[in-house]
Amino acid sequence: MPSTPPLAAPPRNPYRRLFTHPGALAFTLGNLVARLPMGMFSVSAVIMIAGARESYALAGAVTATGLAATAVVAPWIARLVDRHGQARVAVPATAFALLGGLALLLCVRCDAPDWTLFAAYAATATTPNIGGMSRARWAHLFRGDPAARHTANSFEQAADELCFMLGPVLAAFLCGSLFPEAGTLTGGILLMTGMLLFTAQKATEPPPSRTEKAAPPLRAPGMPPLLLSLVATGAVFGSMEVVTIAFADAQGHRTAAGAVLALQAAGSCAAGLLYGAMKPSGPAERRLPWCLAAMAALMALPLLAAGTAGSLVALAPALLLAGMATAPTMVTTMTLVQQRTPEGRLNEGMTLAVTALLGGIACGSATGGWTVEHASATTGYAVPVAAATAALLITLGSAARSTRRVPQEV
């Protein structure tokens, strides 16, 4: 009786497997160029507006308005991407968003009324979800391989963190060394260039889905509480950014804010790459509460550092450690989003997740700016702690409800 040939051993480096797939490296390079400005725009806007109008509350409110508009518009853009393809929709949507960024720049430069800043920044809401489109390509290429998708999701989260690590540094450097509008201008050029490079890779683009039979992702079982948890998680990021910029400014080191924020992203990037190289144990539903609990605990470190030492030197390592729970939390959450999204609506499902995240960032930015303005930058670090705790409680509540329903269904 012939023996069964042994299975090929998996590669030692799971990331190498991703990029040996034809076309994967090409679309990833374009994606990274387009994604870098995602870490530049809000920091550039805060520095530009706060410097011109001398109000962090106004700067936080303007960026919050743009993110809230994105929360409304982005799912519609993603639905068009699912139906008509990435290249056909993403390029014109990006061009329109860049007009909004240019309008904001001109309104600040020309000392236009405050309401024009809100209107201009809201027009940037058509920016396509470049991270979601990249994750959709990985899901399409490795649709029958959960292990490869886990590694791809981890890489994408690390790429997010890398861009949010380099983006604020670049934005703060450009705005501080050249002129306040330099960050917004550079970000716009990078976004359009990267989007053109990304969408030019046709071989890896998921085919358009013409069917309307699939249920909307928002109605999929388990999605509403997951999205609500993402809102709270986004509030962690939004508040941390505004509060850290204000804290650095209070120390007389506004241009160092980007470098300090980069440390949080660096911790998350390193944790994400390590998490992707590991084989996850147990279902994602069970891993998520542990990830959120770790994030809630670590977010207390910046509050302690700011309250006790009151210096950027003490805050820097606290932010580095705080960021280490971010990537595992986001990777696990995105895995659940992919699992719960109906077939043919993947871009829309992941964009809903990013939209929830952006909505939370908007709330966090506004709340962080208000707290800094009416209390202090040190007190502002309590906002990320509260937001992370809320995300954990939402997830635990959802898990408890699911557990109670199982005996009834059996």
Read off the pLDDT of residues 369-384 as tens digits, 9 standing for 90 and up.
889 888 888 888 999 9
Report the predicted TM-score, pTM, of the whole model to 2 decimal places: 0.70
Residue 215 burial by CB count (10 A; 0-12/13-18/19+): exposed, middle or buried? exposed
**pLDDT tier for residue 335 given thresholds of 50, 70 and 90:** confident
Closest C-alpha among 148, 137, 178 to residue 44: 178
Return the pLDDT at 211.
56
Per-residue confidence at 404, pLDDT binned at 50, 70, 90?
low
The pLDDT of residue 263:
80
pLDDT digits (tens, 9 = 90+) for 259-296: 787 787 778 878 877 877 777 677 777 888 888 999 99
| Interval 59-77 mean pLDDT | 81
Report the pLDDT value the prediction gives residue 210, as an integer from 0 to 100. 63
Rounded average pLDDT over 297-303:
91
User: Which residue would you say has higher pLDDT here, 269 or 95?
Assistant: 95
C-alpha span between 322 and 57 (Å, rounded): 25
Interval 210-219: pLDDT, tens? 655 556 777 7
In the prediction, which pLDDT does 11 show?
A: 52
Mean pLDDT of the chain: 81
Two tokens, residue 317: 């390592």
Q: How confident is the model at residue 1 (pLDDT cuts 50, 70, 90)?
A: very low
pLDDT tier, 194 (very low <50, low <70, confident <90, very high otherwise)? very high
What pLDDT, on the 0 to 100 scale, is given for residue 7?
A: 39
More confident site: 46 or 196: 196
Please report which confidence band the pLDDT of residue 173 belongs to, taking 50, 70 and 90 as the band edges. Answer: confident
Q: How confident is the model at residue 141 (pLDDT cuts 50, 70, 90)?
A: confident
CB 147 within 8 A of CB 14: yes
Task: Name the more confident of 10 and 398.
Answer: 398
- pLDDT score, position 232: 92
% of the chain beyond a pLDDT of 90? 13
The one-letter code for the residue type at 39 is G
* Burial class of residue 352 (count of CB atoms within 10 Å of its CB; 0-12, 13-18, 19+): buried
- Structure confidence at residue 192 (pLDDT): 93
Task: Give residue 255's pLDDT.
Answer: 66
Amino acid (one-letter) located at 371: T
CATH number for the segment(s) 24-207+215-404: 1.20.1250.20
Nearest-angstrom CA–CA distance, 249 and 229? 31
Residues in the chain: 410
Give 27-51 pLDDT, tens digit per residue.
889 999 998 888 788 888 888 888 7
Segments making up each domain of the chain, as ranges: 24-207+215-404
The pair of structure tokens assigned to 151 is 């590694």
**What is the distance of C-alpha 214 from the center of its chain?**
26
What's the CA angle centered on 269, arms 139 and 380, to 5 degrees?
115
SS3 content of the chain, % helix, strand, coil (to 5): 80, 0, 20
The distance of Cα 45 from the centroid of its chain, to the nearest Å, equals 17
What is the pLDDT at residue 5?
41
Query: Cα dist. 220→73, 254, 341, 357, 369 in Å?
Result: 20, 44, 7, 18, 35
d(CA 408, CA 254): 57
**pLDDT above 70 coverage of the chain, percent:** 90
pLDDT of amino acid 128: 87
Q: Which residues contact 92 (CB under 8 A, 6 or more apart)?
A: none
Q: Please give the Cα distance from 142 to 335 (Å, whole number).
A: 13
User: Sorting pLDDT into bands at 50, 70 and 90, what band is 2?
Assistant: very low
284, containing H or E segment: helix 284-298
Identify the weakest region by mean pLDDT among 85-94, 333-342, 387-396. 333-342
- The predicted structure's pLDDT at residue 12: 63
